Amino acid sequence: MVAAGRMKNCLKSTRPFSTFSLFLLAKKTLTVDNMNQNVRIMDYAIRGTISERADEIEKELLKGEKKPFNKIIRVNLGDCHAVGQIPITFLRQLLATCTYTELLKSSSIPSDVKERAKIILQSCTGGSVGSYSTSSGIDVIRQHVAKYIEKRDGHRAYTDNIILCAGVAEGFKTILKLFKAGVDCKNPGVMIPVPQFPLYTATLTEYGISRIPYFLKESNFWSLDMDHLKDQIKIARSYCFPRAIVVINPGNPTGQLLTRENIEDLIRFAYKERLFIFADELYQDNVYDSKFFSFKKVMIELGEPYNKMECASFMSASKGYTGECGLRGAYIEVFNMDTEVKEIYKKLLNTSLCSPTLGQVAIDAIVNPPQKGEPSYDLFIQEKTKVLGDLKIKAKMVVDAFNSYDGFKCNPLQGALYAFPKITLPPGALKKAEKKKILPDVYYCKKLLEKTGIVTVPGSGFGQEEGTYHFRTTILPPVEVLQEMLKLFQSFHKQFFERYSKYDI
């Protein structure tokens, strides 16, 4: 009765709305103050302010505005096709045939492509890639992934441990959700390399999981420093409960390749500290004059008790020699995951229904490529060798160029698609950045963009030791574009140092 009376009085009221009442009516339900604050504060530097400014400049160029350059050179993203890499014919033919089945009758499609398409389609509901797959992915493709891993490592792999996912980012996030739980009244923590791919830090922030940084040793080719890892986890135990460690091998953004000894040391460390291993192995095909060892292979070959440790390793169609970023195809191998946890993990996967089936087909093209004697083999090998050979040439070209500049130091690129040089910035630049209230490496990259059109990513977006400055660039553009970029870079860098060599700016 009281509530009804109040409502009646409210309806009868003829008083005008107060200014405060109007404010309440106008205010949005979801605001920056009441939204998820973890999402609000997370950052992803690769698509940050420098990239956004590059987009604006590109539009300004299209409108005819005058700049010191006539085009944007994007070396901020590991987006192979965006900078001119030619698609692998076999992969695209397989995609086309699985999508448009009339090509099964066409003489323009090689017989080995048709045979693979038929096998994949038979494993799809209704014989169509337009249907949902199981949440773990198309079964026959998962079988092919397991065989690929067996051949790579020389050890048994099981189809039930293979998950096909919509890119490594999505795969990592899904597994990380399982760790989003406090232990002994402490927040969960995950060890992250520094420098690191910003996805990992951003995801930890989004999920409210503590980040435990461990610094790679730049003076020793970005290797692991095991004493430092031990110190970092000891410090971390005061504010969180360490649950896992992320390792990126080959490295992004550093381009290093861990030695087998380093991998063994990290596995022993993870065992002692009871850490789940996330092995980012996206760039295992992008290796230059070095040897790649998977974490799973080393764990098995170390024997008891290390061969019983838990690990999730990742591989993608976005990098390697295929560079099919937009298809969002990747796989995860979960190794030694607890049986009950794996069932819950699969239940979690069910909520996403399945990853894009064309991304799954792209993975099949990588793990089940043409074999010697098949019609597609010669062209496939020619195209694959060309891509990887060019990357090796460009890796050396970029490192040699940067090391010839005053104030630059760039480690050799042993793998992956990036260089991460250290730069000693002149005092005037440091002072100018301080006045503008931006980080010095951000200031440098912004000036580089404004003067040359070259888009890079400041090292602060990946993490770096205090007092050092870096940036990341890809080595992906065609050789002639890369040569042009390096000439522009050299000219800019010389002028920048002359301009800011003194404090009185």
Q: Look-up: residue for tokens 């062209």?
A: 379
Domain limits of the chain?
A: 45-84+385-499, 111-367
Provide CB contacts within 8 A for 219, sequence distance 6+: none
**Per-residue pLDDT tens over the stretch 226-266:** 999 999 999 999 999 999 999 999 999 999 999 999 999 99
Check residue 415 and report its DSSP letter. B
45-84+385-499 CATH fold: Aspartate Aminotransferase, domain 1 (3.90.1150)
User: Which of 92, 93, 74, 70 has the alpha carbon at shortest distance from 84?
Assistant: 74
Q: How confident is the model at residue 19 (pLDDT cuts 50, 70, 90)?
A: low
For residue 32, what pLDDT is reported? Answer: 73
Q: How far is CA 471 from the centre of its chain?
A: 16
The C-alpha angle 272, 275, 281, rounded to 5 degrees, equals 120
Q: Is the pLDDT of residue 43 over 80?
A: no
Q: Is the pLDDT of residue 35 over 80?
A: no
Residue 334 CA to residue 160 CA, distance in Å, equals: 9
Provide CB contacts within 8 A for 457, sequence distance 6+: 45, 46, 48, 50, 51, 76, 253, 445, 471, 472, 473
Q: Is the pLDDT of residue 22 over 90?
A: no
For residue 18, what pLDDT is reported? Answer: 56
**Per-residue pLDDT tens over the stretch 73-127:** 999 988 899 888 999 999 999 999 999 999 999 999 999 999 999 999 999 999 9
In this structure, are residues 60 and 70 in contact, taking their beta carbons and an 8 Å threshold?
Answer: no
Q: Is the pLDDT of residue 9 over 90?
A: no
111-367 CATH fold: Aspartate Aminotransferase; domain 2 (3.40.640)
Q: How confident is the model at residue 503 (pLDDT cuts 50, 70, 90)?
A: low
Q: Is the pLDDT of residue 6 over 50?
A: no
Q: What is the mean pLDDT of residues 34-44?
A: 68
3-class secondary-structure state, position 189? strand
Diameter of the chain by CA atoms? 88
**Per-residue pLDDT tens over the stretch 323-369:** 999 999 999 999 999 999 999 999 889 888 888 999 999 999 999 99
Cβ count near 281 (within 10 Å): 21
Identical fold for domains 45-84+385-499 and 111-367, yes or no, is no
Sheet strands (E) in 115-257: 162-165, 188-194, 210-215, 241-248
In percent, the amount of the chain with pLDDT more than 90 equals 75
Q: What is the mean pLDDT of residues 192-213?
A: 91
**Per-residue pLDDT tens over the stretch 430-452:** 999 999 999 999 999 999 999 99
In percent, the amount of the chain with pLDDT more than 70 equals 92
Peptide bond into 195 cis (omega under 30): yes
For residue 47, what pLDDT is reported? Answer: 65
For residue 2, what pLDDT is reported? Answer: 40
Residue 471 CA to residue 19 CA, distance in Å, equals: 50
